């Protein structure tokens, strides 16, 4: 198991995704079978007002899908933002 303490940037989904992918490769090379990343590492913490920007949440979900596609033989625990499909509660 690897714990990834990475320095993410708030709002830089592409940069954060690239950092995650690099760290996944390093974890693999060290023999890890699972790697855990920090809270909301795809959006950077805390994303606050950025959540309301058109396409921001969708971009972080796309980045998550790209990471999942490259996670073969490696369990990845990662923080991201998703929309709440229910009418009750918060939007995200």
76 neighbors 68 (Cβ within 8 angstroms): yes
Tens place of pLDDT per residue across the chain (92 aa):
999 999 999 999 999 999 999 999 999 999 999 999 999 999 998 888 888 889 999 999 999 999 999 999 999 999 899 988 898 988 78
Q: What's the rounded Cα separation, in Å, for the pair 82 and 68?
A: 15
* H/E run at residue 59: helix 56-69
Q: What is the DSSP letter of 90?
A: -
Q: Structural domain boundaries of the chain? A: 1-10+30-42+55-85
- Pair of tokens at residue 84: 């709440």
| Torsion, Cα of 13, 18, 24, 28 (10° steps) | 170
């Amino acid at each position: 198991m690897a714990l990834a303490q990475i320095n993410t940037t708030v709002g830089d989904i592409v940069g954060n995704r690239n950092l995650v992918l690099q760290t996944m490769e390093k974890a693999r090379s060290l023999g890890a079978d699972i790697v855990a990343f920090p809270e909301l590492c795809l959006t950077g913490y805390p994303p606050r007002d950025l959540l309301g920007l058109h396409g921001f949440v969708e971009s972080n979900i796309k980045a998550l899908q790209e990471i999942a596609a490259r996670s073969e033989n490696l369990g990845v625990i990662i923080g991201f933002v998703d929309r709440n499909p229910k009418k009750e509660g918060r939007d995200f």
